[in-house]
Amino acid sequence: MKKPLIFMDPFPRNQSMVFTPDCATALEEMGDVVAHWGSRAPDELVEQHLADMVILIGQTAMPKERLDRAPNLRAILNVKANWEPNIDYEECNARGIHVLSAAPAMAPAVAEYCIGQAIMLLRGLHKADKLFRAGLESYGIAGNQDAKSLYNADVALVGYGNLGRSLAPLLRPFGVRLMAHDPWLSEGYLRAEGVEPVTLEKALSNSDVLFLLAGVTSENEGFLDRLRLETIRTDASVILASRAEIVEFDDFLELAADGKFRAAIDIFPEEPVPEDSPYRTVPNVLFSSHLAGGLNASYGRIRETMLDDINQILKGLSPLRMQKANPKQAAKMRSR
């Protein structure tokens, strides 16, 4: 029997991320693999294989007219962990085509990052390092006058998707009061998850630690504007670990630089950040360069969940590991 065609177009993922030798062997046992690396697959290559394509791995544009030419397509697996606006999600849903994201595989590493950054901010460890190197350190309680503890803190998550669900279990041992705001989720669901549903206003103004985890959509870009950012509890620790576009970024930096709140930032409106960017000189901010999720362990989880779900789908069963697209939500996402 002819093997199902598995078409790989995973840019910006590369072979070392999603096509290691063991993964390649597993995929080749399941089907005939056609792969394109280094850029998005050219239209000619996609069209050449469209009629036979059963599994699509990547972010290839799939509007309705292209879906019409892909009668055998059963699943689209996005290994970049986001939803792009180049797929007709409603049409895929109507045709029974699974559209999946690897986001759950990235979430544990981002959650771990969030815990580390929160403790760094609360304890002022990034500043302590600079003081020590300059010979200006203080010892014991004298060096901890501005330090805070994560234990028993008021903590809010703005966004309770994959990241929030991975972060909540790591926070609970600290005995925190755990709040969440997510307009996509019901209060009953959040309570069942063991978190306190709150308004956005309460999340911002009542938190010692604030994790900004929401995705960016066509409806919420820049929803954390200056007026809302100014309501954040004074000297709160704020970790921006999801999408830069949900905040008015320059206002966020200005308020953090002025000491309104403590801030850790891992993502930027433009990446890579230009060498001469004024961001590099902003004081009182703990910066990292989109490091939260991009670990070898994360890519290992992507490969594992991808292989599991492809195997399920080819058996005629439902996928279990990757995130399934909600057509209405996915169509509104504006992730880069």
The mean per-residue pLDDT over the stretch 51-75 comes to 97
Answer whether residue 17 shows pLDDT above 80.
yes
Residue 142 makes CB contacts below 8 A (sequence gap 6+) with: none
The answer to whether 240 and 264 are in contact (CB under 8 A) is yes
Q: What percent of the chain has pLDDT over 90?
A: 93
Integer distance in angstroms from the first to the last C-alpha of the chain?
40
Provide the mean pLDDT of the chain: 96
Q: What is the DSSP letter of 161?
A: S
For the chain, the structural domain boundaries read: 5-104+296-332, 106-287
The reply to whether CATH 3.10.290.10 applies to domain 106-287 is no
Residue 25: per-residue pLDDT: 98
Closest-CA residue to 161 (of 181, 179, 177, 175): 181
Tell the burial category of 135 from Cβ atoms under 10 Å away from its Cβ (0-12, 13-18, 19+): exposed
Rounded Cα distance, 39 and 9, in Å:
8
Closest-CA residue to 207 (of 243, 240, 231): 231
Answer whether residue 44 shows pLDDT above 80.
yes
The mean per-residue pLDDT over the stretch 25-34 comes to 98
pLDDT tier at 314, thresholds 50, 70, 90: very high
Answer whether residue 82 shows pLDDT above 90.
no
User: Of 141-145, 192-196, 226-230, 325-329, which range is least confident?
Assistant: 325-329
The beta strand positions in the chain, using DSSP E, are: 5-9, 32-35, 53-58, 75-78, 98-101, 154-158, 177-181, 196-197, 209-212, 237-240, 262-265, 285-287, 323-324
> Strand, coil or helix: what is 194?
coil
Answer whether residue 134 shows pLDDT above 80.
yes
Residue 235: per-residue pLDDT: 94
pTM over 0.85: yes
Residue type, 231: T
Sign of CA dihedral 124, 127, 129, 133: negative
> Strand, coil or helix: what is 217?
strand
The mean per-residue pLDDT over the stretch 94-121 comes to 97
Answer whether residue 169 shows pLDDT above 80.
yes
CATH topology identical between 5-104+296-332 and 106-287: yes
What is the CATH number assigned to the segment(s) 5-104+296-332?
A: 3.40.50.720
The mean per-residue pLDDT over the stretch 40-55 comes to 98
